[in-house]
Amino acid sequence: MFNKKKPKNILRPDDIVLLAMLNFPQGAVGESIIHEFVYQLLQIEPYKDLNERISFSEAGPNLHFSHEVHRAIVENCRDVTNVERGMFSSKDSTPAIFSDNLRFEAYEDIYNKEKEFAKFIPDYSPKIYFLTAIGRSVAILALREKLNREQKNIIAEIASEYVSG
C-alpha cells in the first residue's frame, strides 16, 4: 500500500508555540502567556482546525492550559532558570541577562503572573522561557513555509495586543 504524505502546510503544536514565541520582543515570556496567546489564536477561523490537536482545559479564571502546548514549550524553548552562565533575580529591578545576551525588562511582572498560573496547575512551578537560536530559526522557517498571508496577519494582530496590553 502507498502511504499518503501529509500536506506540508499543516501546523503542529510545536510550530504554533514557536510562532507565538517569535512575537514577544523582550526575548522571553512566561508559560501562561504562551498558553493564552495560543488559546486566543485557536479561536480565530484559519486556526480553529488546530483545536482538535491542541486541546485546552480551564485552569482558573481566564486561564487555559494545554498539555500539548506545555510539551512543545519544554521541547523547543529554554527555561530561564536553567540557562548556563546566565543570571537573573526576581529581587532586583535590574534587567535579567541571559547567556545569549537577551535582555528581559519585565521579568518581575511575568514571574508574578507565572506564580498565579501555578496555583491552578497541579505539579507546575513558575517558569519563564525564551527561544534558543535554533528554535528561532525553526520558527522563522515555519512562519515562511506554513502560514498564508491571512494567518501571518492574525498572529501579528494578536501579538500586538499582548505586547501593548
Q: Could you state, in chain order, the average pLDDT of each consecutive group of 10 residues for the chain (165 residues)?
A: 56 84 73 89 86 84 88 82 51 46 66 84 79 77 83 80 61
* 155 lies in some domain: yes
Distance CA 128, CA 77 (A): 10
* 73 lies in some domain: yes
* 140 lies in some domain: yes
Distance CA 63, CA 126 (A): 14
Q: How far is CA 119 from the centre of its chain?
A: 19
* 92 lies in some domain: yes
* pTM for the whole structure: 0.74
Residue with cell 527555561: 79
For 79, the 3-state DSSP assignment is strand
* 4 lies in some domain: no
Domain count, the chain: 1
User: Domain range spanning residue 26?
Assistant: 13-164
